[in-house]
Structure 1
Amino acid sequence: MFFIHKKSREVRKKLNSHNFIIFIGNFKINWSIIEMEKIKSPLKIVILLGIGIFVVETAIMLVFEFVGIPSAEGSIYKPYIRVLLNSIALLILISPVLYLLYNECNKRIKYENKLRSIYEGTEEAMRIIDKDFNIIMVNSRMAEISGVPIEKQIGAKCFDVFPSDACGTGFCTLKRVLLGESVMYEEKLRKSKKGKIWTRHIAIPLKDSEGKIIGVIEAFRDITKRKRIEEKLRESEEKYRTLTEKSLTGVYIFQNGKFIFVNQKFCDIFGYSKEELIGKEFWKLVHPDHREIVKERGLKRERGEKIPEQYEIKVITKDGKTKWVEMRATQINYSSKPAVMGNLVDITEKKKAGSELRKYAEELEKTNKLKDIFIDILRHDLLNPISVIEGMSRLVLEEEDREDIRRELNLILKNVEKVKSLIERASLLGKLESKEKLEFKQIELREIINEVIEDYSQISKEKIIKIKANLPSKEIIIEANPIIREVFSNLISNAMKYSPENTTIEVGLQEKNNKILCYVKDEGTGIPDEYKKSIFERFKRIKKEGVKGSGLGLAIVKRLVELHNGRVWVEDNKPRGSIFYVELPKNQ
């Protein structure tokens, strides 16, 4: 209460009886909430003004008492004036308190609205739970994830709405939070309208102004998509790891020059265990002959520099043996840092086989040379006695008059020519089969064909066979070896053997893009389909009465065409006969 003066007890009693003084009574103000020292000077003036009015009113009442002015009972206005003045003074006195209370409430409302805006606007699903596990506050995101409307969640138990697998098991995390612990973890398969989902869960204690725990604030985030991606990534990694471990090639990853991963095949190649290789510098496995260049390239590749991706090197195994490996490597990111991933194959046996193959090739080349020498010797040794026989037969023929002896001598000379032809052809085919390539130069093909036709003009007259040339008027230049002449000679010779009298052999030449197509048509008996491929093999020929031959002509044709990167085949010539085609490239 406010005190007027310590010595005026009687006045104080009278004022009390007339209710002139204002009693605060037991009205208490929480000064921790309303801080009076924050009142600004205008409010101080209002307070002083209220105190002043109260003092003036009290002074007037004292004057009335001592001067003898009639009391309040004798006047109808004075009590009302006193009440009015007391009310004004009271209002003025409590107005700062009311103002501060209003201002404080307004701030709190604004702050609460701001918090609610953040609470509702966050991507996190949030709820507040009291100490009895009752839900007292929920945001809209929580209702969306759980599938339960807000009004049905308020007042419900937390384990009845959006429960976790731990609810009811004695491992409830909220009990730990109510004891003062803050937790953050990923909760597995919380139930919702979508079925089961993964959430990231954060829970912290809710405290009052005195620091006592009165509940729990929970925040959830749906991480189902992330978990599915992680699961797929784990499956992919497991598949890759399985594939890598079962790979027939050695797979490795090194970072900062040291192995951080090797598969079992890599260990098998070098004879080390995985534990022995992890952390080992990669270049220590390389043979001294190649160690420096491999180290330099490996470190450059790890820095991202461009170097050859594949090469063959020598390596050293754990037991000191030397092996050859073929390796391929590339830069990758491993744990957000540059690294090198590669694979290698043990090619030691391949290298040995290659070395043996080279030796065999060298020996084969020597053998081919010996074969050519042998063919030349054989040709020379066979032709020499045949030439003697031919010479002696011709001498006797010139001097002999008897018809029967001359007939026998002509038969000998005819067979001598056949033997000579057979030896020459066999010698030519033997040399062709040992060759891998020929030397080429530009040749006018039309001129060669005309020369071959001229060579067979006398024979064609004797057999009454016409040779028709269907050649273009312009020159046909190709890259070939002069021995290509044998192709057309053998084809025309073969056609004349199988053509009856009074028929025509047509030799043609056509230019198609970058290729030349030559053909030789005859009107003979033709070639059955089952023989159209085999006739190009050695000593394979169609048997015909009265036709003699070695069976080497078409084999020579095929080999010569192959050496010119061309092809040869035979087709039927309607209505009868055969057509032999030769296709050659213009440029080799």
Structure 2
Amino acid sequence: MIDRDLKIVTSNWKDCDSIPANEKQGHSFCYSCLMKRSKPCEPCHLIEVFATGVCKKFEIEDPLDNKTKLVELSPVFDDYGNVTMVVRHSKDISERKSVERVLQMREKQQAAVAKLGQDGLAGADLDTLMLESVKLVASTLDVEYCRIMKHEDSNSVMIAGVGWGEECHSDSETENDGKNIIFCYTLYSGERAIVHENKTQKKFSGLSLLKDQGIVSGIDAIIGSKDKPFGTMNVHTTQKRVFTNDDMHFVQSVTNVLAESLSRKETEENLKEYAKELEDANYLKVLFTDILTHDLLNPANIIRGFTEELIIVEDEDNKKKLLDRIHKNNEKLIYMIESASKFIKLESIDDIRFEEQDFVPILEKVIRNFGPEMNKMDIELDFKSARECPSLINPLIEEVFLNLLSNAIKFSPPKGKITIDISDIGDKWKIKVNDVGPGISNEDKAMIFERFRQADKGSVKGSGLGLAIVKRIVELHNGEVGVDNNPLGKGSVFWFTIKKAL
């Protein structure tokens, strides 16, 4: 209790070791005994309570033990309502304040990581993001130095930093000038923390300590993976401070954000490079198509013309046979060139225009064109369609009919039979081409529609592109294509679907 003269009247401090014994016995002034001052504090909260009669609460750093205290001043009134005494109550709140500081620091750290993550996701420039990260880390942890070192070959170069000048951009060891003697380093190796205190006050370099311990000093976090790091973030301070696990996790979270941004940037660069490669590949595809259709097809057509003329005028049988071979192989070459050119063009198409049309006349035209070839092999064709089949189709659909019927003829034996059937399956038409050829094994069915893949058909060979062209055109029509065994026995049933015009 303190009177109006600011003297301590009575107290319970007999067990308080921080107050001298002689002051415990007399009625010393509160400011000299409690605050270690030669005159009253300014402002003096006691005088304020005596004047107003209102309680007062405030926090101080107690000079007696350097702990944070909560001080409460309560007035004591006489019978006339005058303040005669003030009760001073002091409570140690150091632990609570410490917890509050930790919570505030964590909140600041989480906010800093969230901001960096948001900027990274928004696609911020990497140089800007790194500079912002070192500023945020330095500010949040209240340190003088924070930098990002990029590893290039055997050297490290600073690309963003706070507190370091141009002369400190390398990892070269410098002598301590004695002004900032290193007090403590917190060393991390995995989950294990080692605190190295310089109790002898002998000068030593943090880099020397690193070499001696063989592990990372202070808060040094890797940016990226251990196997392929981009660099490190280094945090240091001249304060007498031991970094905590929370501090370490915060810095690691920041480096994780930077690593993710670097990875995203690398992915974007790879996508750009891939897009450029695709563009180059498309250009080469177009160039190759031009070469096929002009530089290769034109000479083949010239050979066709000359061999046909020679076959007409040649009288000798042996020479006619040789010319006939040349002609047949040249026809095969022309077919392969034309097929390859068609397939390349179809692969580069993503969308086609449809028109409402009955596909039956198109199919009948293809059948008529193959008439002489079927007559030559005495092949019977069974196709009867009295109805119209209005569909959403593109003129490319003729190529599907042509390839399927051509294959059926090619693989049918002499005097064989080909059946073409059209089924109504709801919103689609299903067209089937049945043959009585050698058939296709179940293993081969899964691959015959892939380009340059053929089923084993003995002496019968093809370009491997016909069915790939069929599949691509049907897919562009949003239909399906497949092959089944002929239910009547030997042979195959090739089928595809196209949409009706509803």
Structure of greater Rg? 1
- Structure with the larger RCO, 1 or 2 (CA within 8 Å, 6+ apart): 2
